[in-house]
Amino acid sequence: MGRLILYAGNSNLPLAREIAHRAGSRLSEATVESFPDGETRVRLEESVRGADVFIIQSICPPANHHLMELLLMIDAARRASAKRVTAIIPYYAYARQEKKLTGREPISAKLVANLIATAGADRVLTVDLHSPAIEGFFDIPVDHLRSAPIMADYLRELGLSNLVVVSPDVGGVKRANRLRQFLDAKASLAVVFKERPEEPTAPAILGMVGEVEGKTALIIDDIIATGDTIIEAAEVLVNRGARKIYVCAVHPVFAPGAVENLLAAPIEKIVVTNTIPIPSGLGERMVVVDMAPLLAEAIRYIHEGRSMTTLFEKVEAEWRAERARS
């Protein structure tokens, strides 16, 4: 494979710079800005001919704008004769619409996958997709990194005991169980779910399966947008007698108003990753776990044509060794 070249769009430059630094490289110069009429203008300022090009871009808010930057950068690299183009997408948006819930709806997760492949990406590297099935929406290889071992490393430092790991919806049970296995195999598992009453206008009722009374509850979700899902789950847990509540969310999307809502919620700490720029306002209640080392290592593995399974096994082995030491 040719030289390793890293480019980044504007969505998360602090993370992109950190990845470049960890990968022993640098971000190549690019012009990524707007024309006066608002259209996106891209120019890769350094040659990519014959190179192994990685374009780092999270599709975080404003998602449409950042998606367009990504597509144009891929297209530019492809037309400038890059040997291979890998889209590094730490946060893959439009993922929550991965199936039709009613008639006449799009499947946005599939459309965005089509757009990325059509633009010219040869492969994709991403972190904690909303649903692992989205990998199959791409007709190009997808390497799907999970933050659970890294989250678990931090959470262990908190010394939480008598723990129950909670999924705030039925779709997230596997994610919660995976974190539970990394964190504390003795911890129990619970799930909060929505029940629709028979009368169509009546509000949904939140139910729960699992025992939380007197326990420390750790809610894990992939995304915090408005914060409603997490806050509703936290309230159910408090009502069922949970002693303390911690939250883990991979992608802190934080829609307007989310910080204020979360500040008022009965939550001790919110642990997120830096796949998208970190929202301010939560002070010490928020802890950020760095995904740059893992993403940089994954880039090196891809560039050197090494097996990604080996990387996943290495991460788990390091985590086990760390746990044995502590």
Binding stretches for ligand R5P (CB under 6 A): 96, 130, 168-169, 171-172, 221-229
Query: Residue 9 or residue 227: which is nearer to ligand R5P going by CB?
Result: 227
Token output for 123: 């492969």
Judged by CB, which is closer to ligand R5P: 171, or 279?
Answer: 171
Work out whether strand 269-273 and strand 244-251 pair parallel, antiparallel, or are unpaired.
parallel
Catalytic one among 83, 110, 174, 194?
A: 194
> Is 194 designated active site?
yes
Query: Shortest distance, CB of residue 61 to ligand R5P, whole angstroms?
Result: 12
Per the document, the length of the chain is 326
CB of 14 to ligand R5P, least distance (A): 23
Alpha helices, H only, the chain: 13-22, 63-79, 108-119, 148-157, 173-183, 228-239, 258-263, 292-303, 308-325
- Report helix angle 148-157 to 173-183, nearest 10: 50
Q: How far is the CB of 175 from ligand R5P (least distance, A)?
A: 9
Please list, residue by residue across 22-32, b when 16 or more beta carbons sit within 10 angstroms of its beta carbon and e when fewer do. Answer: bbebebbebeb
Question: Measured from the CB atom, is 44 or 60 closer to ligand R5P?
Answer: 60
We find the least distance from the C-beta atom of residue 142 to ligand R5P, in angstroms, to be 19
How many Å apart are CA 324 and CA 50, to the nearest integer?
45
User: Residue 108 or 226: which CB sits closer to ligand R5P?
Assistant: 226
Q: Nearest CA to 184 among 161, 154, 208, 209?
A: 161
List active site positions: 194
